Amino acid sequence: MTQTTAADIAALAERGVTILGCGKMGGAMLRGWLAAGLPPEAATVLDPAPADWLRELAARGLRLNPERVEDAAVCVLAVKPQVMAKAAPQVAHLAGRGALFMSIAAGTPISFFESLFGADAPIVRAMPNTPAAVGRGVTALIGNAAATEAHMRLAEALAGAVGAVVRLEAESQMDAVTAISGSGPAYVFHMIEAMAAAGRALDLPDELAMTLARQTVIGAAELARRSDASAEQLRRDVTSPGGTTAAALEVLMAPDGLTALMTRAAAAAARRSRELAG
């Protein structure tokens, strides 16, 4: 995992970082940078409806909705895709000042930003996910032709403040990334819902069923994180031949079971990602 270093933070602090749109994902990334040592006065946020915590940070030096952003080492584009065309021009002048543009807008291709900022502007498209809010996200990155290795390392350092980072070989992989890791937390949360519902069907009280389901997923995820064993091996370690887990896995691993269902679900998400990209 790429880690954000003190040198990375110092480089950002010198010219600053601007965030266009600071909702859940943009906010998660800003919190990560601040936790890594970025001083509030080095951050600029452009958001028409800033959250209370951003207003509190403004009292400590964060630049909130200035009339104009004069400079930035990085400009993070974090508004919703449907309003990007309207919002992005307010930072377009930063392209002439050598800023790196880093987009976390789902379904918005690099070519869209090149049409706004020019093909010579360094642009990195990123797909983080919501566990970034607790420092456990994973972000996939791909840069345009103008993004140098130094730009990519900077993008990795930024994303590394909120979790793991991977580089893609081609932008065409982004739809699959969106389907697996971008949308993936929702699948896990639904698994918790489904396990709790199964517990209720077995006459467990609602609260107990949800507690067991939630804590089981949390514990299994932490075990997977800490272990060097593969997911397959971890599954085998829980499964005694002829036991209760084996009985359940016969259902989940049937030809029409969980893998087939997840494959169809991810395919639907990837298809929708391609549709959003136009």
Tell me which H or E stretch contains 20: strand 17-20
DSSP output for 63-93? EES-S-----SEEEE-S-HHHHHHHGGGGGG
Q: Which residues are annotated as a binding site for NADPH?
A: 65
Rounded to the nearest 5°, which phi and psi values hold at 151?
Answer: -65, -40
Tell me which H or E stretch contains 149: helix 149-160
Report the C-alpha gap between 22 and 46 in whole angstroms. Answer: 7
Q: Which residues are annotated as a binding site for NADP(+)?
A: 20-25, 78-81
Report the C-alpha gap between 67 and 121 in whole angstroms. Answer: 23
Report the C-alpha gap between 57 and 208 in whole angstroms. Answer: 39
Q: Which residues are annotated as a binding site?
A: 20-25, 65, 78-81
Spell out the residues 6+ positions from residue 202 whose beta carbon is closer than 8 angstroms to its own.
none
In 21-162, beta strands by DSSP E? 43-46, 63-64, 74-77, 100-103, 123-127, 137-143
- Other beta carbons within 10 Å of 69: 19
Q: Which two tokens stand for residue 71?
A: 């400079």
Cβ(152)–Cβ(140) below 8 Å: no
Task: Give how far Cα 205 sits from Cα of 11, 199, 209, Å.
Answer: 53, 8, 6
Scan for tokens 């004069």, then name that residue.
Answer: 70
